[in-house]
Amino acid sequence: MKAIALVTLIAISMVSANVYPNSNIIDEINSLETTWIAGENKRFTNMQLEEIKGLLGSLETPPELLLPQKKLFRASNLPENFDLREAYPQCESLKEVRDQSACGSCWAFGAVEAMSDRICIASGQKLQTRISAEDLVSCCWSCGFGCNGGFPSSAWSFFKNTGLVTGGLYQQNNTCQPYKFKPCDHHMTGKYGPCPSSIYPTPSCESTCNKDYVGPSFSQDKWHAKDAYSIARDEQAIMTEIFNHGSVEVSFTVYEDLLSYKSGVYQHKTGSQLGGHAVKAIGWGVENGVKYWLIVNSWNEGWGDNGLFKILRGSNHCGIESGVVAGTVVLK
């Protein structure tokens, strides 16, 4: 009987370890008194880790798809703390937290969010354009596998070479191609409703705008970049790029403990590696003597610190400084 009870206990432990939240990880992080606080994020309540891995769609870029590295002057007089939302308060896109829903399209969201910000910044905060994640996910064949992951560098190459139409959040029909998948709450009762238990199939590529859109034709609605480039794995170079031109897309490795992030400066302490993820960086700062990057995620505002998180800066933590890409937008 004792043997049966032991086997049952082990089985229960294995199941709980593969379902979020993992209370052992949350308790361990908070007992360490490290630079961040862990807690349950309702965005993933009762989700299997395998389901969550499906949302981590930043794939390792093949050598032939790598972008040229931008040559830039590394500014030496940058402020200790910088937040693009404060520097450009009239840019509405900087205040948004999008939701990739049940689709491994983080590679596309990190890109179009930064593109949208850069258009507003370059226009002197006049243009409130949103670039379409829908168009990028469904039509960029060279970017990877749509909802099953993609290459952030290729997203910026596609923006330069082919262009992308406007597109906002789910059902924002005042844009050409809004996102087809609605925000969702995983296995819980929330304001968005439940997500499906599996990743959505990649939407079909369409060359028309939604029927309610009264803007330009599909071809005339497209926006482009003059160039697409990477930034050296150099803290000062990345800060200079953000300060001078706006948001950048960054890729990094996600570990299980990040899922429980609530506040503070994240640094990996425990838990298994889950996969690659792409997000938008909008600034930097220092908190209690610890340097950080300010990051906007695409898991809606119910995750983390109202959808954002801070991650250790200056040591390429989780690879956050080795996969930075961006481009120069062309204004109409």
Which listed residue (106, 140, 147, 184) is catalytic? 106
Active site (annotated) includes residue 245: no
Name the burial class of residue 218, with classes exposed (0-12), middle (13-18) and buried (19+) by CB atoms within 10 angstroms of its CB: middle
Q: Can you read off the two tokens belonging to residue 97?
A: 């937290």
DSSP annotation string for 299-317: B-TTSTBTTEEEEE-SS-G
Among residues 255, 264, 245, 243, the alpha carbon closest in space to that of 309 is found at 264
Active site (annotated) includes residue 106: yes
Active site (annotated) includes residue 187: no
DSSP annotation string for 184-205: -BTTS--SS-BPPSSPPPPPPP
Which listed residue (277, 300, 317, 318) is catalytic? 277
Q: Are strands 308-312 and 261-266 parallel, antiparallel or unpaired?
A: parallel
Which listed residue (22, 41, 297, 300) is catalytic? 297
Sign of CA dihedral 147, 151, 254, 179: negative
User: Contact at 8 Å (CB) between 173 and 213?
Assistant: yes
- Give catalytic residue positions: 106, 277, 297
